[in-house]
Every structure is written in C-alpha cells, then in structure tokens.
Amino acid sequence: MNSLREVKTQMHFASDNNSGALPEIMQAMNDCNRGHVPSYGEDEFTKLANAEMQKAFGKCDIYYMFNGTAANVVALKSLLQPYEAVICSDVSHLQNDECGAPEANIGCKLLLCETTDGKLSPQSIEEKLLRLGDTHHVQAKVISITQPTEYGTTYTLEELQKLRDFAKAKNLYLHMDGSRLPNATIHLNCDLKEVVAGFDIISLGGTKNGLAGAEAILSFLPEKKDHLRYLRKQSMQLAGKMRFVSSQFYAWLVNDLWQDTARHVCGLAQELAAKLADLPEVEITQKVQSNAVFAKMPREVIKEVRKKYFFYVWNEKTWEVRLMISFDTKAEDVDGFVQAVKQSLSKHVPTHR
C-alpha cells in the first residue's frame, strides 16, 4: 500500500463518526481555501457562518471547536465553580465516554441519575438537590442532557419545557449535549430554535452529522462571553485557520443541508428497525427516534455479522447492540445488513429454518 487511495474501507453500522464528510462540506472548505484572511475567526468566512448560526438558533455567542469532548468540557467549565456539580444521565457521554475529562479538566463531580431510556426528568433530578446549601456536600449547578440521548431516544418539546421550568425554579443552568441534535429536531418536526429554546449553553455536534472535525459551543448567556473566549484558548481549541471549521457550518445550514441529512438517517433507521423486528430472536429494545437502532440478537449472529458489517455491542451481558445510520448509508446497505442477519439466524437459530 503506497497511497491514500489504496486504503480499503468498509460500510459500518458502528458510529456516524466512522463515515467521511458530506461532499458539500468538502466543497465549502475548498471554496475558502484561497488567499490570506485574518486568523482566529476574524475572517469574513467565519462572519458568514456566524450569521447563519444565529439565523438557525437565535441570538447567541458562537465558539467553534475541534471535537465534542472539548465542547462539552469548555461549555460546562464556563458555568461551574470548583465546588459545584453536573447532574446527568448514568449513560451520558459525559459519564461513560470522555475518559474522565470533566473531572480532570473542570474538577467537578458528576451526579448520575439512573435511566432506562437515557432521559432525565424533574423527578429523577430532585433527589440530587436534597443537600443544596449543605457546606459538606457538593452543590448541583448544571443539568446536562443529551438530545437525542445515547439510546437514540428524543426528549419531546413538552419534556424539554418541564426541564426548563424546573431548572429556572431551582436556579440551575441547562446544558445540552447536541452531538446529533439535527436528528432529534427532524423527529420532533420542529426547527432548531424550538429545540434549544430556554437552554443556557449548547454543545453543537458537526462531526457525527457529516462535517469533518467541526463542533461548536452556542452560548445564550452574554455575561459568559469573555469567559468562554479565554477558556477556549486555554483549552487549546482556538483554530488559527478558523475558516476551515466555520465554513463547514455555513454550508451545513445555508441550504438546509442539515435537514436533508437528518431526514435521510432517521428514515433509514426506521426502515432498519422495522425489518429487524420481523426476524425471530431479534428484539428492538429502544424507541427509534433518531439515527440509532438498539437491538438484542443471539451472540453467534452478532459475531458472524460483525465480520461483514462492523457495529458495537452496547451491553455484553444482554447482547444488546447499537446500530448507527450515517449520511452515506444507503437503502441497499440496510437490506444487505438485514440479509446477513437472516442468513446467520438460519444457521444458528433452529426455529428460523
């Protein structure tokens, strides 16, 4: 193997991180790859992107980042004192997939709420507030939710309103990990402004939605503007050639590319779930409300099918798997995966013969 073009790739159902970037996104980066412009976000390309972001999400301060973990950590750090804590789900990315980054880089404690579908509710949060004001106890200050959740489930607009009302009543900040936010928005049949309304700060995902190493923090707290500016730099997330990050969000928003992509992945997830649900020994375990399908199937089938289509086992005790649809997943990929499961079932499950 002597060149990049010789590297072989394979269709995965493992993660939307495994896919490449949308052609329109690559074109946007190419379009701004000319001449010299001011660095660190002072360029006209970034100003165009900022205008589209505010049109889509409302008036906010925008901080472009390289990755989602940094976006979560910097966003939360801007809201917390060292003695304060974040309330989040026990399956949240903050808890399970960030290598202790919140604890190491913020110095905060995570207060976990047990969930069956990844969602928090005012009732589940309430018990984490019992010792507010107690000098011996860490003080809860931020509620962090993931929309859609790590199980692919989506908070309804009514559920979001209840969380907003609760947070306001308890004087808590609201943070949204929106790594796949467009998919939740399409499922809810609303616009981006509606789904983020009333939240203080958003970690907006790009990479999982067809962008290339581009994330952002959206802050609706003007008083945190300078705080976030310096925190981003201190956290090594301030891009010198910012135009190559910001231009991706411009292309993603300007002609509603985000909507087309989200509709595609959500639709194929529904199709995959429906076809798998018809198979014996396959159980869909969560509501399919984004681009994720969670299912249980026999261990032997999982091992065999993963040789052709790689995907992750979410829970090795129950053999629950997670199947993710990406922007470049096609209907024939879904059909091929389902056929592979059928063939494996015919060999390993006698009742399927």
Count CB atoms within 10 A of the CB of residue 83: 13
pLDDT digits (tens, 9 = 90+) for 212-250: 999 999 999 999 998 999 999 999 999 999 999 999 999
Nearest 5 degrees, angle CA 160-CA 96-CA 198? 20
Rounded CA gap, 211 and 67, in Å? 11
Rounded CA gap, 103 and 82, in Å? 10
The pLDDT value recorded for residue 350 is 64
The pLDDT value recorded for residue 162 is 98
Token pair for residue 160? 């979001």
Q: 């329109």: which residue's tokens?
A: 24
Domains along the sequence of the chain with CATH: 6-16+258-347 (3.90.1150.10), 23-255 (3.40.640.10)
210-236 burial: b if 16+ Cβ within 10 Å, else e: bbbebbbbbbbeeebeeebeebbeebe
Nearest 5 degrees, angle CA 191-CA 196-CA 201? 150
pLDDT band per the 50, 70, 90 thresholds, residue 2: confident
| Residue 114 exposed, middle or buried by CB count within 10 Å (0-12, 13-18, 19+) | exposed
pLDDT digits (tens, 9 = 90+) for 29-54: 999 999 999 999 999 999 999 999 99
Tell me the mean pLDDT in the region 296-306. 96
The pLDDT value recorded for residue 349 is 74
